Amino acid sequence: MKLWTGRFHKELDKATNDFNSSISFDSRMAREDIEGSIAHATMLGACGIVEQKEAQAICAGLEGILADLESGKLAIDPGAEDIHTFVEGELTARLGDAGKRLHTARSRNDQVALDVRLYLRRQCRALQGQLEELVHVLCRRAIEHSGAVMPGYTHLQRAQPITFGHHLMAYAEMLLRDISRLEDACGRMNVCPLGSGALAGTTYPLDREMTASLLGFSGPTRNSLDGVSDRDFCMELAACIAICMVHLSRFSEEIILWCSWEFKFVELDDAFSTGSSIMPQKKNPDIAELVRGKTGRVIGSLTTLLTMMKGLPLAYNKDMQEDKEAVFDAVDTLRMCLTAFIPMVETMRVLPENMRKAAAGGFINATDCADYLVGRGLPFRDAYKVTGAIVAYCIDNGYTLENLPLEKYKEYHHLFENDVYEAISLERCVNGRKVLGGPAPENVRREAQRVLDLLQERRAGQGGKDEGHD
């Protein structure tokens, strides 16, 4: 059944019908479509646009459809043009004329703008929950390994010693920003387009505030053209998800490196690694690689949305039907990635001895050696030069800063004393970096605890705020 056959003399061509139809991907919004229709019908009844009795019958009918869909008693007809057509058709089959009144003062244009918002709002909150879980895992693992010394890198060259806990907390910070970005996106998305009609509003005396509040929106949209043609919320959510995926991808890249025999800083649990069909010794970090790979796909979805929108005149254009597959895929991909990534990080075995070995015996403490001289009164630039010369000597003669004899140190500068060895020990190097934001173990523990407290506060705060609008 089509909703728009009046002015046509022929059926739509079969292949064109399939091309035009969106049921294969918008049927996942069945619940939101029904919730939106219940709010619309309730408002139509309250405003006297549809008789109260009929409005109530419509709501009951819609609730019945939702229950039947959820219990599996009713299946979505894959031949329907879209989910809106299916629900309205089913309602009319059940109620007759009352069902036909549901679409009064509404267009599929404001209806679909509403459904996508309702659907994404829910998904956005679910993603935030998963990200909070990952941050939680990172904090716990950071506390566990707050004292594990590892090389910090720039240009993937050993640079200065840090702690593994500090490294993990860097990702926690990135993910906290992702959570707050999702929250912002969700806030801007949270306005109700119902009442925008096809593009020009409606002559019916609707109570748009009422529909908005019934659906848990902060208010109605303020311009009917924008109400039906805005897909910023899809682009913005996809952008948030793409940025988050980039974070997970960088983390994955590091995990892949850390798993290699060249690093061996971590070992993934068997449950989150795969083998090779030919090389019996292999244990591959496939999950991390897939997360890294799928990041390209999500960036692709964002590009799809931006490109799809960039040339569209106001108001609704059918191009916009393409919004759903792109943004849904971005949401699904992040959700799937997090579902695998969280337990992978939770269970990965950390090998602090190997991290320490990689940090020791090189020149990772050269800055601290220079700082030692600064502590004895030398200007930093001079101290830097002296230390550079010492490092060059060590490299040429097979020494490290740890085992270079004191007499040699003294040849380069008289301010060196026996306590230089203590000053450049890895523990001193990291323990001394207590500046706010630094890698000292006590900092890591304090920061991780601060974030854990923050998460707990968020959870406590959310209990009340989201009630009824999950």
Binding footprint of ligand ARG on the chain (CB under 6 A): 22, 26, 82, 108-109, 112, 316, 318, 320-321
| Minimum CB distance to ligand ARG, residue 227 (Å) | 13
Residue 129 C-alpha from the chain's centroid: 10
Whether a cis peptide bond, with omega within 30° of 0, leads into 315 is yes
Q: Which is nearer to ligand ARG, 26 or 447 (CB)?
A: 26
Q: What is the dihedral of CA 359, 364, 367, 372, to 10 degrees?
A: 60
Q: Which is nearer to ligand ARG, 243 or 312 (CB)?
A: 312
| Minimum CB distance to ligand ARG, residue 275 (Å) | 43
| Minimum CB distance to ligand ARG, residue 88 (Å) | 12
| Minimum CB distance to ligand ARG, residue 312 (Å) | 12
Q: Read out DSSP for 288-317?
A: HHHHHHHHHHHHHHHHHHHHHHTTPPSS--
Is the Cβ–Cβ distance between 131 and 244 less than 8 Å? Answer: yes
In the block, residue with structure tokens 């630039």: 381
Q: Which residues contact 311 (CB under 8 A, 6 or more apart)?
A: none
User: Which residue's CB comes closest to ligand ARG?
Assistant: 321
Angle value at C-alpha 191, between 185 and 193, nearest 5 degrees:
125
| Minimum CB distance to ligand ARG, residue 81 (Å) | 7
Q: Which is nearer to ligand ARG, 176 or 306 (CB)?
A: 306
Q: Which is nearer to ligand ARG, 232 or 253 (CB)?
A: 232
Task: Report the alpha-carbon distance of residue 81 to residue 94 in Å, rounded.
Answer: 19
Q: Please name which of 335, 351, 413, 318 lies closest in space to residue 127, comparing C-alpha atoms.
A: 335
* Coil/strand/helix, residue 159: strand
Q: Which is nearer to ligand ARG, 82 or 178 (CB)?
A: 82
Distances (CA, A) of 260 to 221, 268, 277: 53, 11, 19
Task: Report the alpha-carbon distance of residue 183 to residue 466 in Å, rounded.
Answer: 12
Strands (E), 48-174: 149-154, 157-163
Catalytic residues: 155, 276
Strands (E), 307-438: 349-350
* Coil/strand/helix, residue 247: helix
| Minimum CB distance to ligand ARG, residue 223 (Å) | 18
First-last CA distance in the chain: 33
| Minimum CB distance to ligand ARG, residue 354 (Å) | 53
**Count of other CB atoms within 10 angstroms of residue 466:** 11
Task: Report the alpha-carbon distance of residue 346 to residue 349 in Å, rounded.
Answer: 9
Q: Which is nearer to ligand ARG, 16 or 218 (CB)?
A: 16
Q: Which is nearer to ligand ARG, 85 or 273 (CB)?
A: 85
Q: Are strands 149-154 and 157-163 parallel, antiparallel or unpaired?
A: antiparallel
